[in-house]
Amino acid sequence: MKKQTGSMDTLVSLAKRRGFIFPGSEIYGGLANSWDYGPLGSRMRMNLKKLWWKRFVESRDDMVGLDGAILMNPRVWEASGHVATFSDPMVEDVVTHKRYRADHIIEEKTGVNTSGMTLHEMSQIISDKKILSPDGNPLSEPRQFNLMFETTMGTVAGEGNRVYLRPETAQAMFVDFKSVATTSRKRLPFGIAQIGKAFRNEITPGNFIFRTLEFEQMEIEYFLEERDWETLFDTWHREMYAFAREVGISAELLHDFEVPDTERAHYSKRTVDIMFDFPFGQKELWGIAYRGDFDLRQHQEHSGQSLEYTDPEDNKRKILPHVVEPTFGVDRTILAILVSAYEEQVVGEGDTRVVLHLKPEIAPYQVAVLPLMKKDGLAEEAREIHRALLKHFRSDYDETGSVGKRYRRHDEIGTPYCITFDYDSKNDRCVTVRDRDTMVQERVNIEELSAYLDRKMNQHS
């Protein structure tokens, strides 16, 4: 069998055709770079978030969850540094007024590394190298563009009512640190985890769900004593790779990028970007950063409230904990899983099948029940098996088209097992179970079907 991985176009069209991901607001002509997760995509997304939550919150006793508000007091974003510095350098095409990332355009056109460069230096390169926009027009002077979305709260518009849609979920975990520590009675080291939407007014969004203005993050702030940061950084780094394995991201497509001093925030002694080989190049999938005590210190100073933690050993020593932050983007993870899972196999003379090798834990459906024919009572019996399976598995019932076509449909949406009820099933009470990856078929007694599927899915993982 010949293996071929997919281009971005084939993935986007599969996602749309099969109901994973649609362009947002499509009947109104869409809204640039907004996407809706359809019936299959929303299942997959939910499965991913549940696995993350189970692994990092429910299965550990050093972790607690938080579900913070999207709108926060604007002073949060002053303290965190976002108001002053959460910006990217931007240039504008002076004719079309289209906007571009100045650093990206310089790197693409000249190969020069822009990290640590000032706006003035970028401006110099643009004029020295006579860099034009992709439409061939002159570019404006670069300037910093703040990525936070602003909106107004209440009925009176004005400066005093300005709020921001959070550009990351992390800040609630710092702002609520004291309340969480007190109410959960956790001892250092312990972490807070949160899943939620974040918003960034990106200058150059694109590449499908890779860079959008609205996206979801799964973030952890792991609070610790300063002396432990290096060990715990390594532990969390390994945990991130273990999670990648759990959800079916190909290990050979993952790479570490040690962020150099010049690109790292001043308070971070170590940051690693976990990069993935997307079809459009190697880009950041997730990140892990040691942030020192920067965030708690900033919020303590700006709010005037103590965020110190009292050492429970002696009830005296006050500590401002340090933090290691592993952060995961939901949407980029979904894309990395799809890229890892996609395969076009030549299975015979002029015959190709598209298969998504999704893990059973991630796949929208774990099984599909197919009657060989709709007639002669086969459909009724197959439906009954499907209903029984629904109690333990994510099952789909599918009776339209030939069985061959239905197998292919389920290969394409990543259903690991198809169960066919045929004429013999009526007498021998057995069904055919077809494995998506090997296409091997086995006869299994209906009574033993659940146990059989459980066993197979455990072996799979």
**Site residues for ligand ATP per CB under 6 A:** 168, 200, 202, 211-212, 215, 217, 284-287, 327, 329, 331-332
Closer residue to ligand ATP, CB minimum distance, 200 or 410 = 200
Closer residue to ligand ATP, CB minimum distance, 34 or 110 = 34
| Bridging pattern class, strands 143-146 and 87-92 | antiparallel
CA distance 79 to 82: 8
Coil, strand or helix at 455: helix
Give min distance, CB of 88 to ligand ATP, in A.
Answer: 8
Closer residue to ligand ATP, CB minimum distance, 35 or 309 = 35
Give min distance, CB of 100 to ligand ATP, in A.
Answer: 14
Residue 419 corresponds to which tokens in the numbers above?
A: 């169960």
Give min distance, CB of 414 to ligand ATP, in A.
Answer: 22
Closer residue to ligand ATP, CB minimum distance, 122 or 272 = 272
Give min distance, CB of 267 to ligand ATP, in A.
Answer: 15
Where does 209-349 show beta strands of DSSP type E?
A: 214-224, 254-258, 270-278, 281-292, 309-310, 318-319, 322-329, 342-348
Coil, strand or helix at 266: coil
Give min distance, CB of 46 to ligand ATP, in A.
Answer: 18
Q: How far apart are the first and last CA of the chain?
A: 23
CA within 13 Å, CB half, 436: 31
Task: Determine contact, residues 421/378, Cβ cutoff 8 Å.
Answer: yes
Closer residue to ligand ATP, CB minimum distance, 199 or 229 = 199
CA distance 174 to 221: 8
Closer residue to ligand ATP, CB minimum distance, 325 or 396 = 325
Which residue of this chain has its Cβ atom nearest to ligand ATP in the complex? Answer: 329
Angle formed by the axes of helices 8-17 and 330-341, nearest 10°: 100
Give min distance, CB of 296 to ligand ATP, in A.
Answer: 19
Give min distance, CB of 289 to ligand ATP, in A.
Answer: 8
Task: Determine contact, residues 170/219, Cβ cutoff 8 Å.
Answer: yes
Closer residue to ligand ATP, CB minimum distance, 284 or 308 = 284
